[in-house]
Amino acid sequence: MTKLSVGVDIGSVATKAACFNKGNILGTACISTGVNYRETIDKIIQELLSKLNMPANTPISYIACGYGRKMALNSAGTVNEMTANIKGVFHLVKDKFKPELVINIGGQDIKILFLDKEGNVEHFIFNDRCAAGTGRFFETLARILEVDVATLSEMGFESNNEIEITSTCVVFAENEIVNLLSEGHDMHAIVAGFNQAVACRIKDMIGTYRIPEHIIVDGGVALNQSFIKTLKEVFEREVYLFNQPQITTAIGAAIVAHERLQKNVAHYCKDKSEN
Largest CA distance in the chain: 80
Question: Nearest to residue 234, comparing CAs of 206, 274, 257?
Answer: 206
* Residue of 37, 114, 138, 235 interacting with ligand ADP (CB under 6 A): 138
* Residue of 40, 85, 153, 159 interacting with ligand ADP (CB under 6 A): 153
* Residue of 3, 12, 90, 212 interacting with ligand ADP (CB under 6 A): 12
Which of these ranges, 18-26, 101-109, 197-205, 263-271, lies near ligand ADP under the rule CB under 6 A? 101-109
Residue 224 is a binding residue for ligand ADP (CB under 6 A)? yes
Indicate the pairing of strand 24-32 with strand 14-21.
antiparallel
Contact map string, positions 235 to 254, toward ligand ADP, x by CB under 6 A? -----------x--------
3-state secondary structure of 165: coil
* Residue of 14, 65, 103, 192 interacting with ligand ADP (CB under 6 A): 14
Burial of residue 201 (CB within 10 Å: 0-12, 13-18, 19+) is: middle
Contact map string, positions 48 to 87, toward ligand ADP, x by CB under 6 A? ------------------x---------------------
Question: Nearest to residue 193, comparing CAs of 166, 162, 221?
Answer: 162
Which of these ranges, 45-53, 54-62, 104-112, 229-237, lies near ligand ADP under the rule CB under 6 A? 104-112
Looking at this protein, which amino acid is placed at residue 9?
D
Q: Which residues are CB-neighbours of 47 under 8 A, at least 6 positions away?
A: 17, 29, 31
Residue 223 is a binding residue for ligand ADP (CB under 6 A)? yes
CA-to-CA distance for 161 and 185, rounded, in angstroms?
11
Q: Which residues make up the interface to ligand ADP (CB under 6 A)?
A: 11-14, 66, 106-108, 135-136, 138-139, 149-150, 153, 219-221, 223-224, 246
